[in-house]
Amino acid sequence: MRTNFVLIDSENVKPEFIEKLKHDHFRVVIFVGANLTRLNFPVVNAVQSLGSNGSYVQISSHGLNALDFHIAYYIGKLSAAHPDAYFHIISKDKGFDPLIKHLRDQKIFCARSASVLEIPLVKSTDKLPPKQRAADFYEKRIASATARPATATTLLSAIVSHFHKLLSKEEAAEVLEALKAVGLVAVNGKKVTYPDRG
């Protein structure tokens, strides 16, 4: 499988779901601004778990679009060394789009996504069964939350939001059913309760 470089613009998007890139065909580079003095532990932990396939680039000075230019430079450098690679820019900044068009015209595979979860290769390998999705959702959004969704409608919305709106209504309903099946959630009419709180 061709190498996929994932270049994350951490000034524009929150680096997350790095664990989804824990495959031999992914290389992850997180670009951080000159002012950044610390990174969140979950991000550092996820990148370290990638071993030599995960790294950081901190730009050394300030300037308009300075980080964007660094990403452009690295794509040029890496594409020369890996001409068959695919490059994924993770950023909501549409300013990258003219560069991406030019790269494609040069037969360099490149695309921009707002989230790691939008990378087509991640989507195709991220078909978790409802039970696993339920466990992930509960652990990250419900277990330690002080305010939990009180109705089935808001809970379904929270499930869809948690998975970056990539689930259909049917898939979200399957996650809710999985939560109910293991006793983490009880639904009575429209009301939702969480039995673990007694």
Could you state, in order of their start, the residue ranges of all structural domains in the chain?
A: 4-124, 128-197
Domain over 4-124 is classified CATH 3.40.50: yes
173, HSE (Cβ side, Cα atoms, 13 Å): 3
C-alpha 119/C-alpha 134 separation (Å) is 22
Residue 84 to residues 46, 108, 116: CA-CA distances in angstroms? 26, 8, 21
Count Cβ atoms within 10 A of the Cβ of residue 73 and give its class: 0-12 exposed, 13-18 middle, 19 or more buried: exposed
Give the pLDDT of the chain (198 residues) as one tens digit per residue.
Answer: 789 999 999 989 988 889 889 888 899 999 998 887 777 888 888 899 999 999 999 988 877 889 999 999 999 999 999 999 999 999 999 999 999 999 999 999 999 999 998 888 787 656 678 998 899 889 888 988 889 999 999 999 999 888 766 678 898 999 999 999 999 999 999 999 998 754
Domain over 128-197 is classified CATH 3.30.200: no
Residue 72 to residues 109, 110, 177: CA-CA distances in angstroms? 13, 11, 45
pLDDT of residue 198: 45
C-alpha 140/C-alpha 16 separation (Å) is 12
Supply the pTM of this predicted model. 0.64
